[in-house]
Structure 1
């Protein structure tokens, strides 16, 4: 597995926060799998991009932005939850939510039971979110989203990307429900280019 510390924003657009989260292990199951949560700083960056926290210099009540406090233990917990969510979702897709292995179900349930970010209106009329432990609170949000997904009708719209070596899960919100790619700008365009290349080299 190759570690990665992307400077560009993390991929988003899977349709559910928990699905965006499990995409931080890119090319899952392939020899060239890429770990995007390569360290605590990467986990902080993911939380700042996807979480409800204010990232301005005065974001937190102590003068520090929420979502910038991950350590090595938080990183291990985040990766463990990510894999448990992936197992929970894939099991639900195959055989229903009751098919999840007990260890994965218990891990997700335990994460979901922890406090989530608390909203508050500041004097300027802006909505701010705060948590005593921003990492744990964000993991609770993701766990709750996963539990909601696997027990809702939205599960019927979860697809695996048809892109070669991708397989990322996404929520198909298209009206006909026939979306094939996690992103047309990446996997979709790559598949089209590969198809054109193959046709161009096929003997007449």
Structure 2
């Protein structure tokens, strides 16, 4: 099984996590965390753990918990962006509060002086970190800087950290580049 290339760069780990359901709500919706091995790969790639250390595949129950956590994060941030965090569905709020209470990855200084992170349960610890990040973001002034990608087929959210606050795409390499190519092609077709 090949390791998927998960999307990053949204500016917050909770936003990167909700992107694991690509093209949410469309006919082409794709579940990136379709197996325990995929969740382990996501945790290994995006978590604070030492690069190259394999995370053992979690249980099917842990995968369900990850999906439920992702959907609760999405529900919270969607509510916070529209009417306010207080309008988050109670079941999503309760789940996030419970998940956030778990221990998070903790730093360890190794014998070579390098800082690594560890956890007894790497998946549960990272889910706790994600839940805490989502709760923080939903109640932060930074929430006003969460944007929808302008890519017509994307739908991802990202934190706009640009100075003027005018970033349009979740990724210049993907959506931004595709938009520029499309604009260029349209201009070329108009000149022909």
**Could you state the TM-score of these two structures normalised by the residue count of structure 2?**
0.93
CA distance, structure 2, for counterparts of residue 112 and residue 188 of structure 1: 34
Aligned with residue 98 of structure 1, among 86, 90, 93 = 86
1:69, 1:134 within 8 Å by CA — same for their partners in 2?
A: no
Paired residue secondary structure (2:185) = helix
Q: In structure 2, list runs of 5 or more residues that go unmatched.
A: none
CA distance, structure 2, for counterparts of residue 18 and residue 119 of structure 1: 20
Aligned with residue 121 of structure 2, among 124, 133, 139 = 133
CA distance, structure 1, for counterparts of residue 2 and residue 20 of structure 2: 11
RMSD: 1.8
Aligned with residue 24 of structure 1, among 20, 30, 49 = 20
Instruction: Report deviation, 1:196.
Output: 2.6
CA distance, structure 1, for counterparts of residue 134 and residue 55 of structure 2: 21
1:93, 1:155 within 8 Å by CA — same for their partners in 2?
A: yes
User: Which residue of 2 is the match for residue 109 of structure 1?
Assistant: 97
User: Which residue of 2 is the match for residue 177 of structure 1?
Assistant: 165
Instruction: Report deviation, 1:122.
Output: 2.1
Query: May I ask how many residue pairs the two structures share in their alignment?
Result: 192
User: Which residue of 1 is the match for residue 35 of structure 2?
Assistant: 39
Q: Deviations over 1:21-42 (max 9, x none)?
A: 1111111111001111111111
Asked if residue 152 in structure 1 is aligned to residue 140 in structure 2, the reply is yes
Q: In structure 1, list runs of 5 or more residues that go unmatched.
A: 57-64
Instruction: Report deviation, 1:6.
Output: 6.2
**Could you state the TM-score of these two structures normalised by the residue count of structure 1?**
0.87
Q: Deviations over 1:3-56 (max 9, x none)?
A: xx7635311100000001111111111100111111111100100111112245
User: Which residue of 2 is the match for residue 162 of structure 1?
Assistant: 150
CA distance, structure 1, for counterparts of residue 187 and residue 64 of structure 2: 46
CA distance, structure 2, for counterparts of residue 196 and residue 117 of structure 1: 46
CA distance, structure 2, for counterparts of residue 13 and residue 38 of structure 1: 22
1:12, 1:20 within 8 Å by CA — same for their partners in 2?
A: yes
CA distance, structure 2, for counterparts of residue 69 and residue 163 of structure 1: 33
